[in-house]
Amino acid sequence: MAHYVDSEVGRLSTVMLHRPGPELARLTPRNNDSLLFDGIPWVGRAQEEHDAFAAALRDHGVEVLYLGQLLAETLNEAAARDELIASVLDDRRLGDSLRDRVGEYLADQDPQRLADVLQAGLAHEEMKPGPGGLVYRMMDRHDFVIDPLPNLLFTRDSSVWVRDHVAVTSLAMPARGRETTLTHAIYRYHPRFAGTPLLFSPDLEHVEGGDVLMLAPGVLAVGVGERTTPAGAERLARRVFTAGLAHTILAVPIAQERATMHLDTVCTMVDVDAVVMYPNIANTLQAWTVSAGPEGEPAVQDPRPFLEAAAEAMGIDRLRVIDTGLDPVTAEREQWDDGNNTLAIAPRLCVAYERNIETNAQLERAGIEVVRISGSELGSGRGGPRCMSCPISREGGR
């Protein structure tokens, strides 16, 4: 089955989502910060909101795949099962006695139950009877033997498609590191993705999918900041150029702050020549233009304004900018509430959180149709519709 993405706005055909589940119920005031959530979501309402998001995509002809289902199907493959169990056991916190017991526990699970544990984690109290050994006996009853992965909700970050290749990313935050072991296994062992060329892998320098924007066929923008490192951007550029997948990559520094953790928290595309962008940075955002030099060595130009560099690389006169909000206060509030984090279903058609009233009005005044969804609970992990989706197939964006 062909999978192909060469733009941010080509009509969306297939997308991978993750319906929030028991892993969100693992969040407490004791661990939500370390697990990268700003609050404790109401799980049932988050599921309702996510179901409405998926329904809105299906209503526009999009095939929705679920990461959890793909994972369970992948675990029917013995090699995938062995690899993912081994990745869990490769944790220095466990010690020998607990590692052996966890290995036995995981080996006894059927594919669906094993998938559930790999996503939601395993609590101390869930191992009955409890194993011996010092590590287990010294754990608090509320500790996790296997940590949960609540950020699986944000499928954008753990993989990104560049044409017919998939880059399984290298996530920077310890709480998210195990996510890519799951996506890596899915793309390598699930029958649907058989033969898909892998462009990147979790053992390389840090790159996260929320920092990668496919501005046009052959043109990528890569944010460099809290999550994606300059070395990660350079490694991705080398691999993209070697595979002949793009001619230009724009390396775009962004502030290393929680509010601007990824490039797509301040800028997303809504048309072939238009972005919705946080006005506080629109005129100051810079880009290093990187192209394939002799013998594949990346050639780097001096920095210049992002909007100017992007338009030139895309072969257009200018990149239209639609501002977040109407005034500085509203812009800051709606940027924090993921007003910039839209998902394009097609040119001039995007999904956005309904609460960003002024930004959505700005989009509509610019000729962009907005499909509004609720995100009062989904947004507690600092992500909007783009963060929660990994496009796997799009039609041509022009």
DSSP state of 38: S
Coil/strand/helix, residue 13: strand
Neighbour count for residue 282 (Cβ, 10 Å): 17
Residue with tokens 């992002």: 306
Burial class (CB within 10 angstroms; exposed 0-12, middle 13-18, buried 19+) of 398: exposed
Nearest Cα to Cα of residue 343 among 256, 270, 249, 265: 270
Give exposure, 318-355, as e/b (b: 16+ Cβ within 10 Å): ebbbbbbbeeeebbbbbbbbbbbbbbbbbbbbbbbbeb
- Widest CA span in the chain: 68
Side chain identity at 80, as an amino acid letter?
A
Hey, what are 384's tokens? 């909007």
- The catalytically annotated residue of 267, 350, 387, 390 is 387
Let me know if 390 is a catalytic residue: no
Burial class (CB within 10 angstroms; exposed 0-12, middle 13-18, buried 19+) of 257: exposed
Tell me how far CA of residue 371 lies from CA of 34, 326, 336, 348, in angstroms: 33, 20, 19, 11
DSSP state of 179: H
**Active-site amino acid positions:** 387
